[in-house]
Each structure stands twice: as structure tokens, then as C-alpha cells.
Structure 1
């Protein structure tokens, strides 16, 4: 009986959803506890660890279900698909958060950033205004979603390549 090759979709959906829910949970916890407005960044490092771990684990599970055979191409497909599914989960959250949960949050965050910049003795009012223009431009839900998706794909590509090179065997 010949072995049937598994599809990448099942692995991408399962591990991508888990990864997306990890980031969503971190985001919700940071928002509820006020860490987001305070500029606390350490909880995001949990995601920075979970991202490559989940991609590598998904690739290894794909290999395991494929009779321990893994090509670099299959590893790349699985890893990138996990990255894009996780990004899409978080993108949905970005829009729900910004348009339903707290539509005023971005304005509050910009105001907090402005106050912090004005506290610095070396920053002029003109520099603050210029910085705020950039912050406003990149803090829209569409820009944040595009940026998040691009970064997920970029790092997904890197970790998939690493995982594929380490775990591949074409036998």
C-alpha cells in the first residue's frame, strides 16, 4: 500500500490558528491590563518565541505524517501557510478591536506618544508634530494589518527555510 501525501492546509490551519490565538491573547491581556498604553513590550516576546517554535513544530508534524519524508518545498509551504493563517487571525482582531472594541484607542495611544515625546528635553515641537504624522499614518488598521502580514510572511519565510533545511530528507 502506497503512502498518501498529506495536504499542507490541515497543518497550516491548525498551527496557524493556534499561533494567531496566542498573539490575540497577548494583545487582549496587554490591552485589559493597560500595558499597551504604558508601552510595555515584554509580553510580545512570548510571541517572538512562539512564532518559530510553532512553525518548526508544524513542519515536523507534517514530516511525521508524511512517513518522515520532507522536501524543502513542502517545509516552505507548511511554514508560510502557518504564518499567513496566524497573520490573518490577528488582522481580523485588529479590525474588530479598532472598529468595535475600542474605536478611540488609536487616538489615546497617539496622545500618550505625544506626551512622552514632549517630556524629552531634546525634542522640539516641530519634531513631535513630524513624528505624530508618521505615527498616525502607520497606526491605521489597514496599515497595521499590511505591516503585520508582511512581517509574518517575511519571518515565516526565514523560519520555514531554516526548518526545511534542518529537517529535510527526500528519501
Structure 2
């Protein structure tokens, strides 16, 4: 029987913290090893993140007398994603503002080179607008905002799949 009083918040908070710590560790590992991208670390990051969401949903199901609805799974997953995503975004902002601002600048320079290659086919107004957009999209604040949105979308997808698999009949 479903227990309507089983709180989601403590589980979402705990697993949101695990998610944030795991993701921050990945960012730090990439920074310390001086890698921008690494397929192995990226794969571990995705699998670890999926595991955190699934474990959160399983933990909720256990505290709810082994009963789980799809709606509860989505709430747990999105709660975990929101808490973790906000913490990751805060760290990401601090990391790319104070610890590794050169990464943002290097990323901007690559985009500027690409933009200059395409500038021959653009009007000066379009080129100016593209440059303005580049400044916005390559800011630590924008990257942090996108990380929260990405976290929520990823959490929704994973919790939907996990909820469909783990729900009680």
C-alpha cells in the first residue's frame, strides 16, 4: 500500500549532494589532469550520474514500503537533479570564474577563429550579433545556467526510465 507521508526531500537532498560531489570531482579531475575532454571520464561521469539517480529512486522505494509510482520516481529524480544541479552550477561558476578562467578564454578563441572563417559570408551586422552572442554563451554564468537545465533534463529522462522499470504494479 502506498504511503503518502513518505518524504521525498531527505532522499533527494542526500542523493543530490552525492550527485554534486561526484560531478564536481569529475570537473576537478579534468582540471588536474589538464584534459578538456576525455571519453573514459565522460563515460564514467554519465554512468555514475545514472547510478546516483537510480539509487535515489531505489532508496525512496525502500522507505516507502517497496511501493513506487511513476510520479514518485519523477519527483525523486527531479529533486535530486535540482539540488545537485544547483550545487554543480555554483561550483562551475566559481571554477570557471576564479580557478580556470583560461578555459573559457581558450574556448572563446576557438569560436572566434570559426566565426572569422564564416565572417566572409556574413554582413557586418550579423558578425557583430554573432560576436555578442559568443560573449554571452561563453560566460561562466551562462555555462552554469545550462548545467542546471541539462541536469534537470537528464534527471527527468533517467527517472522516467527508472520509474517505468521500478514502479510497483
Match for residue 126 of structure 1 among 119, 124, 128: 119
Give the superposition deviation at 1:137. 2.8
Unaligned runs of 5+ in 2: none
**Which residue does the alignment assign to 1:46?**
44
Q: TM-score, normalised by structure 2?
A: 0.80
CA distance in 2 between partners of 1:4 and 1:78 (Å):
14
Q: 1:113 to 1:45 in 2, by over 3 A?
A: farther
| Superposed CA RMSD | 2.7
Q: How many correspondences in the alignment?
A: 160
Structure 2 match to 1:92: 90
Q: How does 1:12-51 map to 2 (within 5 A)?
A: 12-36=12-36, 40-42=37-39, 43-51=41-49
Post-superposition offset of 1:114: 5.5
Per-residue deviation, 1:104 = 3.8
CA displacement 1:117-154 (0-9 Å, x = unmatched): 59xxxx93637x96776544322122112211111111
| Paired position in structure 1 for 2:157 | 158
User: 1:168 aligns to what?
Assistant: 167
Contact 1:110/1:132 (CA < 8 Å) preserved in 2? Answer: no
Distance 1:32 1:87, change over 3 A: same
Match for residue 54 of structure 2? Answer: 56
Mapped partners of 2:21, 2:150: distance in 1: 17
1:7 alignment partner in structure 2 = 7
Structure 1 pair 103–124 and aligned structure 2 pair: CA distance change class (3 A): closer
1: distance between equivalents of 2:55 and 2:44?
A: 16
In the alignment, structure 1 segments of 5+ residues that lack a partner are none
**Mapped contact 1:13–1:82 kept (Cα < 8 A):** yes
Instruction: Indicate the residue corresponding to 1:143 in structure 2.
Output: 142
By how many angstroms is 1:75 displaced?
0.9
TM-score relative to the length of structure 1: 0.79
